[in-house]
Structure 1
Amino acid sequence: MSLGVNKNRLTHTIFYLHFNLICSIVLVLLNRWIYVNIGFPNLTLTLLHFITTFIGLNICERFNLFQVKTVPLKDICLLSVTFCGFVIFTNLSLQFNTVGTYQLAKVVTTPVVVFLQKIFYKKDISFKIKCTLIPIIVGVVMNFYYDIKFNYIGTLCATLGVLITSSYQILVSSKQHELQMNPMQLLYYQTPVSSLMLLPIVIYFEPLTDTIFRTFNSLEVIIVCMSCIVALFVNISIYWIIGKTSPLTYNIFGHLKFCLTALGGFLIFNEPMSFMQCVGVILTLSGVTFYAHFKV
């Protein structure tokens, strides 16, 4: 009986990992396609992702996949602001950078979280962890410097995306402990509040002629809708994985996602990497691998 339960659990874990892997890669490539070939406004796409995720979470709640917990609105506001910021700037990073550079910039989030925790929460950083940050930072700088599509806007968006994402992750961890809520319960409140915050910004910065009054063909509509649905699947499957696997498994799988997504960018969008960029990628991945080894 125990063997059967373990086998069933392993089967579910493998499914969750592969489901998240496929969805994560598809989402990045879909969004890149939308920005490059459709020219769909970034903020509007982000807003649609938020709305779709909220609808999906309501469906999950109806099927008792999680329980909604009441929380004061004031406790969610700052979290929702950073949630908006991290999604907007990571999407802008994808819009203005190559897929490989976008993915590599996301890798820096983990060491930045460590530094922010050191600064604001006085958490100690071991010498080994500090050493792993050297190849990560050098590798990312090399990749940006030698990127054939290097641009200052893309670099700025990637930098802001990393800083805000790191702050968001720290806030999520803090709020989970403070409010005794799991990530899905927090996300249930974040998405509608973030949508309301983002709506006036969308109206002000993105003309209606680019969205409501623009004519889209059926393929473009399908691709945008697919992006929204896949974004929901990514958000939900992340929480499944965190609950079903170890941090080491999650980190190693993250490296696999990085490599496959960068390969997809090369094959689909013809975004080649120079030799020095490849060296930068290898340095960064080696640093992240050692970081995961020392942290777990």
Structure 2
Amino acid sequence: MATRLSDLFSNSRLVIGLLANLLSSICIVFINKWIYVHYGFPNMTLTLIHFVVTWLGLWVCQKMDIFAPKSLQPTKIIWLALSFCGFVAFTNLSLQNNTIGTYQLAKAMTTPVIIGIQTMYYKKTFSTKIKLTLVPITLGVILNSYYDVRFSLLGVVFATLGVFVTSLYQVWVGAKQHELQVNSMQLLYYQAPMSSAFLLTLVPFFEPLSGEGGIFGPWSFPALAMVMLSGLIAFLVNLSIYWIIGNTSAVTYNMFGHFKFCITLIGGYVLFQDPLSLNQGVGILCTLTGILSYTHFKLAEQEEGKSRLVQRP
């Protein structure tokens, strides 16, 4: 009985974490897109605000004894901090330079790239069925991106960099939590300010600090309110990503991301009237076919693995 209650409590915590990530991830995409379209707020500055708000949120959490900070050597997390900068900055630049449909479809390539990284550098193995599902996913992303009426080489470059750096980041999040024996809050508490410092040195070289379009420019109250709301939601996104990957895996996190994929894709066309061609529709169907097949085979393999463990004497 005690074991069942423990399993139920553990599953309920996982469900809450997944729901928090689902809602916050969808909201952050639409709010950021709204900020770019209607206010023209600078991308890297918005990313910096996200980092600072994330660290402040964690500082409040540790003051409330929600978690206890653990001393970590900066050299142990420097690459994670840099990849965090790239992850947020490139995905925001992809969102800024692509339609939401293309942006979201490009993110579907994260799963194949993670599988490639884990196969080459972490010696993990994946079944042939799983590998074959990557074909329609990749084909669908290429079709949609190529026939996007807002197709631009710059948008494709940012989307590609975003996928690669995001994949590295997600793999390293799980690896570092295991290596350093820390939970999601403890790791993010040290990594967020380090990422903020890296980005702070770059912002003045790429974006104005004052005047039109600068962080100290004449922004309206609604614009500043939306930016702060975006920062608060980014805190929830960052924290839930760490928590989910730390308690499951990077691949499982991306499986869950497929639900966000569908909802965000539909929302982009409804809220921002992003145009959709026939070839893009075919690309979306290809990607969805690969995603659903991947999810089906992955869940089947997990159930088979559990059955083997139960049957062992």
TM-score, normalising length: structure 2: 0.85
Equivalent residue number for residue 286 of structure 1: 289
User: 2:24 is aligned with what amino acid?
Assistant: C
For 1:107-256, list aligned pairs within 5 A.
107-209=108-210, 210-241=213-244, 253-256=256-259
- Residue among 278, 282, 286 paired with 1:275: 278
CA-CA distance at 1:55 after TM superposition: 0.5
CA-CA distance at 1:263 after TM superposition: 1.7
CA-CA distance at 1:129 after TM superposition: 1.9
User: 2:47 is aligned with what amino acid?
Assistant: T
8 Å contact kept, 1:176–1:182: yes
Say what the alpha-carbon RMSD is for the aligned residues.
2.5
Change (3 A) 1:251 1:172: closer
Quote the Cα distance in structure 1 between the aligned partners of 2:290 and 2:35.
32
Quote the Cα distance in structure 1 between the aligned partners of 2:117 and 2:28.
28
Work out the number of aligned pairs and report it.
296
Q: Stretches of 4+ moved more than 6 A in 1?
A: 1-11, 243-249
Change (3 A) 1:12 1:176: closer
User: 2:292 is aligned with what amino acid?
Assistant: T
CA-CA distance at 1:123 after TM superposition: 3.2
Quote the Cα distance in structure 1 between the aligned partners of 2:36 and 2:266.
18
Unaligned runs of 5+ in 1: none
8 Å contact kept, 1:30–1:223: yes
Deviates more, 1:248-257 or 1:280-289: 248-257
Deviates more, 1:63-72 or 1:142-151: 63-72
Quote the Cα distance in structure 1 between the aligned partners of 2:67 and 2:36.
34
Change (3 A) 1:19 1:265: same
The one-character-per-residue Cα deviations of 1:214-248 (angstroms, maximum 9, x if unpaired) are: 10111111111110011112222334555778999
CA-CA distance at 1:11 after TM superposition: 6.2
User: 2:260 is aligned with what amino acid?
Assistant: K
Quote the Cα distance in structure 2 between the aligned partners of 1:232 and 1:68.
17
- Match of 1:172, SS state, is helix
8 Å contact kept, 1:84–1:194: yes
Percent identity between the two aligned chains: 51
Deviates more, 1:105-114 or 1:16-25: 16-25
TM-score, normalising length: structure 1: 0.90
8 Å contact kept, 2:97–2:155: yes
Quote the Cα distance in structure 2 between the aligned partners of 1:94 and 1:105.
10
Unaligned runs of 5+ in 2: 303-313
8 Å contact kept, 1:13–1:245: no
Quote the Cα distance in structure 2 between the aligned partners of 1:66 and 1:115.
34
Change (3 A) 1:168 1:12: closer
Quote the Cα distance in structure 2 between the aligned partners of 1:76 and 1:13.
26
Question: Does residue 75 of the first structure (1) align with residue 86 of the second (2)?
Answer: no
8 Å contact kept, 1:43–1:88: yes
Deviates more, 1:271-280 or 1:240-249: 240-249
User: 1:281 is aligned with what amino acid?
Assistant: I
8 Å contact kept, 2:80–2:169: yes
